[in-house]
């Protein structure tokens, strides 16, 4: 996502976003008011960070968010309901800063930015990747561009490493068995399966 100021002599700004150019009028530009120009630039940046739903994506840089509590809460509600749900509906209920997405990828946290770009077909700079932690990185794309990414700590739910789901993928609670953390034997717990699309 980029923004571009153009046509200062004609007193018109063009705000370039993924959804198209939006002309903004500013008759104060020709009157030489740098304070107002600075305020307008700050307002435009704030709009790009929040108004377009792109989270922490700035041009060719993606800042990976370190908070997965909203998504964890959504996964827990599905486990408790014991009912399958459409992934797009689940993510919509998390209030993540997403206007639109068409793919949700999941990567082991040990992967670096170059590996993510190779799989995603992108060429962005990744900020705040977790490195060798035990968790995962969930990445949302829209029409081939990254629109959001966050660290998903263990326990994590998602598709297999390097694969993706779509808004129409189903999230299904399933019973699983695991070893007891305090000794011999096993316990049954509810996990989630998300239908992979690729």
Residue 85 lies in a domain: yes
Query: Does the pTM of the predicted model rise above 0.85?
Result: no
Verify that 13 and 38 share a domain, yes or no.
Answer: yes
Verify that 72 and 15 share a domain, yes or no.
Answer: no
Tally Cβ neighbours within 10 Å of residue 140.
Answer: 24
Of 46-55, 59-68, 148-157, 159-168, minimum mean pLDDT range:
46-55
* Distance of alpha carbon 17 from alpha carbon 60, whole angstroms: 13
| pLDDT tens by residue, 126-157 | 998 988 778 899 999 999 999 999 999 887 88
Residue 95 lies in a domain: yes
Verify that 151 and 97 share a domain, yes or no.
Answer: yes
Verify that 113 and 188 share a domain, yes or no.
Answer: yes
Verify that 147 and 187 share a domain, yes or no.
Answer: yes
Tally Cβ neighbours within 10 Å of residue 68.
Answer: 18
**In terms of residue numbers, what domain contains 41?**
8-52
Residue 14 lies in a domain: yes
| pLDDT tens by residue, 98-130 | 889 999 999 999 999 999 999 999 999 999 898
Verify that 48 and 73 share a domain, yes or no.
Answer: no
* Distance of alpha carbon 175 from alpha carbon 171, whole angstroms: 13
Verify that 119 and 36 share a domain, yes or no.
Answer: no
**Residues contacting residue 38 through CB under 8 Å, at least 6 positions apart:** none
- The number of domains in the chain is 2
Residue 1 lies in a domain: no
> What is the number of alpha carbons within 13 Å of residue 51 lying toward its C-beta?
12
Residue 145 lies in a domain: yes
Verify that 160 and 94 share a domain, yes or no.
Answer: yes
Verify that 66 and 48 share a domain, yes or no.
Answer: no
Verify that 25 and 122 share a domain, yes or no.
Answer: no
pLDDT of 80 higher than 60: yes
């Amino acid at each position: 996502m980029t923004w571009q100021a153009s046509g200062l002599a004609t007193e018109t700004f063009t705000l370039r976003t993924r959804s198209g150019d939006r002309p903004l009028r500013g008759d104060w530009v020709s009157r030489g008011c740098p304070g107002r120009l600075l305020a307008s630039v700050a307002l435009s940046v704030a709009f790009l960070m929040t108004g377009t739903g792109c989270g922490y994506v700035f041009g060719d840089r993606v800042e990976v968010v370190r908070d997965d509590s909203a998504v964890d809460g959504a996964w827990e509600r599905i486990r408790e309901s014991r009912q399958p749900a459409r992934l797009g509906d689940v993510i919509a209920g998390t209030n993540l800063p997403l206007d639109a997405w068409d793919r949700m990828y999941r990567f082991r946290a040990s992967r670096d930015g170059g590996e993510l770009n190779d799989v995603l077909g992108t060429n962005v700079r990744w900020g705040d990747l977790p490195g060798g932690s035990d968790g995962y990185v969930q990445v949302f794309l829209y029409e081939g561009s990254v629109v959001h990414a966050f660290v998903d700590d263990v326990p994590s739910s998602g598709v297999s490493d390097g694969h993706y789901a779509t808004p129409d993928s189903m999230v299904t609670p399933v019973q699983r068995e695991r070893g007891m953390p305090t000794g011999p034997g096993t316990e049954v717990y509810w996990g989630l399966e998300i239908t992979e699309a690729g």
